[in-house]
Structure 1
Amino acid sequence: MYVAVKGGERAIDAAHDWLGRAHRGPQEQPAMDTAQIRDQMALAVARVMAEGSLYDPDLAALAIKQAHGDLIEAIFLIRAYRTTLPRLGASEPVDTAQMRVKRRVSATFKDIPGGQILGPTFDYTHRLLDFRLAADGELPVGPAASDTGAALNAPHVLGFLNRDGLIEDAEDDGAAPPDLTREPMELPADRALRLQALARGDEGFLLGMAYSTQRGYARNHAFVGELRIGMVPVELEIPELGFAIEIAEIELTECETVNQFKGSKSEPAQFTRGYGLTFGQTERKALSMALVDRALRWDELGEDNQGAPAQDQEFVLSHCDNIQATGFLEHIKLPHYVDFQAELELVRRLRAGTEDAA
């Protein structure tokens, strides 16, 4: 507690009132509905869920409304609320091969079982403002397939390379992964823990790290083996029943990259993997995550460390969390009167000593 700010409750209350008025906006305008935010700002909702580590579109929409559109503040609200929820159990690993796909593309193979599905994407749009949205708020849309995706025979594309031994196996040692939300991170971190940290890391930070690897600050010439978005069932084993039942269906984005690897004295030449998995339609985040994941694997793959930032797990994992970063950054806005006065007095004494010596 800062002694110097005692008695400032009235000012803080007034600041809260002002924030509320700014959040509401002009009274003659209709208030935003959380259902509108959930359905019409779905990409913002997806980011809040992914980085907030809680899959609930309604709560994410509420957090965005309460945060006045500040997504990091909304993520903070979701993280804080998440800590109040009881832990009922752990679900079975989701099987993304059973995804009801609404977007699925591969940059490595043109013809894939189930076909390529462009889905909802900005990739092929012109970056021009559409003033029809300002005029009447609506765009003409034609008939389309189900927005929740279609069930397809959609095996993972990298399985074709794995079948021929051209890419490393996706190994699973069967051990329960550590839980970053319940235990503090310890470095060095294994890949399971690193992926957890990256999954809820800041999208902008991971984008910058991923971009740096493409520009040569790591061994990371990647191809998108597959990017898929769709609905995946979540199952929970019920001890009383002795088998798992489906309890929910969630939207996920999964990205697998194919990376070059020259081989070693003990390993033949083969491709290696980068992996990203996030809540909602968050493909930029999932792709960035996959590139950074691969860059962090240099040690286990027997590669040289080029000293690139994306290869330094302590740097990446200690700085990718936007809630930690925001807290440490914004605390310097709070009063530091006593600290500053002490340093100011020290500078004055040093200057006085120098002047006396002169």
Structure 2
Amino acid sequence: MYVAVKGGERAIENAHAWLAEERRGDTSVAELSVGQIREQLALAVNRVMAEGSLYDPDLAALAIKQARGDLIEAIFLVRAYRTTLPRFGASLPVDTGKMACDRRISATFKDLPGGQILGPTFDYTHRLLDFKLAADGEVPEAATREAAVGDVPHVAEFLNHEGLIEEAVHDDTTPPDLTREPLEMPAERALRLQALTRADEGFTLGMAYSTQRGYARNHAFVGELRIGAVPVELDIPELGFSIEIGEVTLTECETVNQFTGSKSEPPQFTRGYGLVFGQTERKAISMALVDRALRWEELGEEDEGAPAQDAEFVLYHADNIQATGFLEHIKLPHYVDFQAELELVRRLREEAGASIVQEAAE
């Protein structure tokens, strides 16, 4: 047993060394720095921060480098590091109405107070490979890069003036913290939103796409999508007031969805909501669509059996770290389990063969 353990340790050490060599790659090529990843692979960094539940671009970039670009592995690293950090307080809720918007668009209203801001987006590119990037060509700076500052009203409030959309719920109770307490069912909306904001982007996108294809009859418009920086404030009891400790970049999406009404509510539009760290608009839109699908019961709608309406199915399978851990554990040694299965199959085959011979003899 001692020899087996030592042999296993040696193999693992060699695997670590080989991994480090593969991570570095060809040494004649300049090593990729954390700063380069942070600045030039910002969308990957944003995803790692969002699904890792930790807003720190430098740590997210380091995790991406360590994981060789495997974003789920990088998310795992960030979450593991997050558990070592002390918690010294809770910030006040951020006010996205005061967001300094780099991007602000609406698919429902053309003319918005403050204007639509296209911002940095792939929406209008031709999806053709740009070989200038392979030649390390310089990219011209944008003519205008000023973000919209000051109060920027949400588009849904325009509909709210006429009573055409449900009132936004303002609940001052402290929601449960999914990062410190396990997920339990039934989950209230605040807990569902926490789970969705750190859910796997691909899974959330698939669920959202299913609602658009008719699995939940959830036809939606993007009422507003905005990306920008918001200040973060911390209440200091000794001072008697709050102070700004920094700012974070967020992506917020609010969808406007059809609603035919119920016994207690008149026909009106309803809301779906998504809020994610960084510039992660695909995830924010997907989150808003799934959020709306999960609200079928509180809105008095019928359960159509759609996957996106099943809170237990969605929330228990959305976390890519849990999914990865359960999936990848099957590649680890299962020698004893397999030997038991092997002996069972052999015995069943022997019994089946004996039964066939007996039937033939009869």
Answer yes or no: same fold by TM over 0.5: yes
| 1:285 paired to 2:244 | no
Whole-Å separation in 1 of the counterparts to 2:64 and 2:326: 22
Amino acid at match of 1:46: N
**Deviation for aligned residue 1:4:** 7.7
Q: Tell me the SS of whatever aligns to 2:337.
A: helix
Judge conservation of contact 1:51–1:202 (CA < 8 Å) in 2: yes
RMSD across aligned C-alpha pairs, in angstroms?
Answer: 1.3
What residue in structure 1 maps to residue 359 of structure 2?
Answer: none
The residue identity in structure 2 corresponding to 1:221 is H
Report the equivalent of 1:133: 133
Distance in 2, Cα, partners of 1:204 & 1:111: 33
1:267 Cα deviation from its structure 2 partner: 1.1
Q: Give the Cα–Cα distance (whole angstroms) in 1 for the partners of residues 264 and 145 of structure 2.
A: 49
1:29 Cα deviation after fit: 1.2
Segments of structure 2 that go 5 or more residues without pairing to the other structure are 357-362
| Shift in Å, 1:145 | 1.6
Aligned 1:265-280 pairs, distance under 5 A: 265-280=263-278
Whether the aligned pair in 2 keeps the contact of 1:101 and 1:152 (CA below 8 Å) is no
- Report the counterpart of residue 23 of structure 2 in structure 1: 23
Structure 1 residue 310 corresponds to structure 2 residue 308: yes
Larger radius of gyration, structure 1 or 2?
A: 2
| 1:256 has 2:254 as partner | yes
Residue matched to 1:194? 192
Alpha-carbon distance between aligned partners in 2 of 1:22 and 1:337, rounded to the nearest angstrom: 29
Give the drift of 1:139.
Answer: 2.7
1:204 corresponds to 2:202: yes
Structure 1 portions without partners, runs of 5+: none
> How far off is 1:138 after superposition?
3.2
* Paired AA for residue 165 in structure 1: G
Deviation at 1:316, TM superposition (A): 0.2
Say if 2:168 is the partner of 1:170: yes
For the Cα contact (< 8 Å) 1:113–1:153, is it kept in 2? no
Q: Could you tell me which residue of structure 2 aligns to residue 331 of structure 1?
A: 329
Could you tell me whether the CA contact under 8 Å between 2:38 and 2:45 is conserved in 1? yes
Greater shift, 171-180 or 276-285, is seen at 171-180
| 8 A Cα contact 1:253 1:277, kept in partner | yes
Give, as a single letter, the amino acid of the residue that structure 1 aligns with 2:346. Answer: R
Aligned-pair identity in percent equals 76
Runs of 4+ in 1 over 2 A off after TM superposition: 3-7, 136-144
The 8 Å contact of residues 90 and 234 in structure 2, kept in 1 or not, is answered as yes
Structure 2 contact 272–288 (Cα < 8 Å) conserved: yes
CA distance in 2, matches of 1:16, 1:143: 47
Q: 8 Å contact 1:236–1:247 — kept in the other structure?
A: yes
TM-score, structure 1 normalization: 0.97
In structure 1, C-alpha distance between the alignment counterparts of 2:62 and 2:162, rounded to whole Å: 48
**Structure 1 position 174, deviation (Å):** 1.6
Aligned length: 354
In the aligned structure 2, how far is the partner of 1:136 from the partner of 1:175?
52
Aligned residue identity for 1:294: R
Query: Is contact 2:99–2:151 with CA below 8 Å preserved after alignment?
Result: no
